[in-house]
Amino acid sequence: MSMFDYDARPVTPVPVLVGTTTSRGAYAIRDFLSRNGYPFEWVDAGQPDAVRAVLGVAEVEPSALPLCILPDGSRLPAATVEQVAAGLGMVAAPSLPEYDLTIVGAGPAGLAAAVNAASEGLRTIVVEAVAPGGQAGTTSMIENYLGFPNGISGSELAIRATVQARRFGAELLLARPLVGVSADGPGYVAELSDGTLIRGRAVLFASGVEWRRLDVPGVDDLLGAGVYYGAGPSEALACTGSRVVVVGGGNSAGQAVVRFSRYAQQVTLLVRGRDLGASMSQYLIDHVTAIPNVEVRVRTQVVGVEADDRLRAVIVRSGDSTAVRSPADALFICIGGAPRNDGAAGIGLVTNTAGYLVTGSDVAREPGSDWPLPTEPLPLETNRPGVFAAGDVRCGSVKRCAAAIGEGSMAVALVHRRLAEAGGD
């Protein structure tokens, strides 16, 4: 028995990822593994000694990067997220020919629905493009979630919920996005990006939102090379001693600031609005503004970036003043959100102008909703009977984790009612 027991590293081999710090592909894999809670070792291909330690040679052919060494020793040159996910056994097929409920998205709303549906006996499957937890899963610490007086990290909440859902029998399919939903008799068929088909008597869209792109020239070219969308938990350690800029005024931006302030030399939060109070919880405002190495700049936005092979500075403008260059090693963009409604158009789900799914009594007010039943849609039900929406993707939802969990839980009762009316429940 080891006496050196404070080290909690896995005893068995973990996958090793070798790549450059400016590689978008390497970042995508780091982000995927990190958000799925999969332990891995990162090796910077620019560090010859580190490369030699894992590969026996000091250099790797650039075309082979990012290179992933799986725990069984096999190698994936020029690896992609899909290949790594498959290589690690994270890609599963549905076990049943039909489910009572197909849930799209494994964020707070989707996981809450999965737990409630599976615990009540519904044959339940969840499809998730990236990782359980959604945007909340990248949150460093949720301090206002009921029952956790000392807070709980988003990733821990996601892991617990995932374990809970699986314990009740819900299936989770990861790493493949939904590409379409079509009607199939009284039910629906969901198709994933790899062609997997899932038949479900009811569907719940809990697909959440994705980060809104920062419309500044050059930003997207630097994705993974100093520019990141979201709180980037996989990048926190790499920010040690660096200058970090976070853009956004919501809770996600605030959480990112708290996380990076623990590692970075300086964190600057850029907020377009007049103050933080419009979109950030007060407890988080108090927290952010009390951190010594954090500077909050309101009425300020990014208007440009400077880079060589990676980000070196951001150009910011405050109010009507002239643009100013501000050195930066990393830029984390946490602005707003665009609804992830992929697949919704295939069955004609109506959305508002921003793309959020319209539900309940609001459906009747939407032109072209084409609701086929004599009674109104149930609350959270879209304009297609048996297709529901919950959480951030739903038009009119409160963009908070607890609210999404409430909607996901509530949706299951409504699914039950719809299935009962359709017969066979």
Per-residue contact flags (x/-) with another protein for residues 185 to 224, judged by CB under 8 A: ----------------------------------------
Q: Rounded distance, CA 33 to CA 260, Å?
A: 19
Closest contact distance (angstroms) between CB of 269 and another protein is 17
| Nearest-approach distance from CB 375 to another protein, in angstroms | 42
274 forms part of the interface with another protein (CB under 8 A)? no
Print the binding letters for residues 122-151 with another protein: x by CB under 8 A, - otherwise: ------------------xx--------x-
The span of 9-17, 175-183, 365-373, 387-395 binding another protein (CB under 8 A) equals: 9-17
Q: Which is nearer to another protein, 41 or 184 (CB)?
A: 41
Task: Give the whole-angstrom CA distance, residue 292 versus residue 258.
Answer: 11
Q: Based on CB atoms, which residue is closest to another protein, 16 or 302?
A: 16
62 binds another protein (CB under 8 A): no
Establish if 74 lies at the interface with another protein (CB under 8 A): no
Least distance (Å) from another protein to the CB of residue 63? Answer: 29
Among 21, 135, 153, 397, binds another protein (CB under 8 A): 153
266 contributes a contact to another protein by CB under 8 A = no
One-letter amino acid for residue 70 of the chain: L
Residue with Cβ nearer another protein (205 or 332)? 332
Span from 6-14, 62-70, 190-198, 282-290 in contact with another protein (CB under 8 A): 6-14
Rounded distance between C-alpha atoms, residue 40 and residue 116, angstroms: 32
Our CB check for another protein shows the closer of 159 and 403 to be 159
Closest listed residue to residue 34, CA positions, set 133, 165, 172: 133
Site for another protein in 156-175 (CB under 8 A): 156, 159, 163, 167
Least separation, in Å, of the C-beta of 5 and another protein? Answer: 4
- Tell me which of 52, 182, 262, 321 binds another protein, using CB under 8 A: 262
- CA angle 340/225/31 to nearest 5° reads 45
SS (H, E, C) the chain: CCCCCCCCCCCCCCCEEEECCCCHHHHHHHHHHHHCCCCCEEEECCCHHHHHHHHCCCCCCHHHCCEEECCCCCEECCCCHHHHHHHCCCCCCCCCCCEEEEEECCCHHHHHHHHHHHHCCCCEEEECCCCCCHHHHHCCCECCCCCCCCCECHHHHHHHHHHHHHHCCCEEECCCCEEEEEEECCEEEEEECCCCEEEEEEEEECCCEECCCCCCCCCHHHECCCEEECCCHHHCHHHCCCEEEEECCCHHHHHHHHHHHCCCCEEEEECCCCCHHHCCCHHHHHHHHCCCCEEEECCEEEEEEEECCCEEEEEEEECCCCCEEEECCEEEECCCCEECCCCCHHHCCCECCCCCECCHHHHHHCCCCCCCCCCCCCCCECCCCCEEECHHHECCCCCCHHHHHHHHHHHHHHHHHHHHHHCCC
Nearest residue (CB) to another protein, 5 versus 320 = 5
- Closest-CA residue to 120 (of 107, 93, 101): 101
Instruction: Point out which span in 10-18, 301-309, 319-327, 366-374 binds another protein (CB under 8 A).
Output: 10-18
Of the candidate residues 2, 95, 353, 375, the single one contacting another protein (CB under 8 A): 2
Interface pick for another protein out of 152, 271, 305, 380 (rule CB under 8 A): 152
290 binds another protein (CB under 8 A): no
Q: In the complex, what is the shortest distance from the CB of residue 313 to another protein, in angstroms, rounded to a whole number?
A: 26
Contact with another protein (CB under 8 A) among 87, 105, 107, 233: 233
- Please report how close the Cβ of residue 89 comes to another protein at its closest, in angstroms: 8
Taking alpha carbons only, the member of 380, 418, 369 closest to residue 204 is 380
Q: Which is nearer to another protein, 89 or 372 (CB)?
A: 89
- Annotate each residue in 23-42 with x if it binds another protein (CB under 8 A) or - if it does not, as one string: -----------x--xxx---
From candidates 202, 258, 276, 328, binder to another protein by CB under 8 A: 258
Which residues would be at the binding site for another protein (CB under 8 A)?
A: 1-14, 34, 37-39, 71, 140-141, 150, 152-153, 155-156, 159, 163, 167, 233, 236, 258-259, 262-263
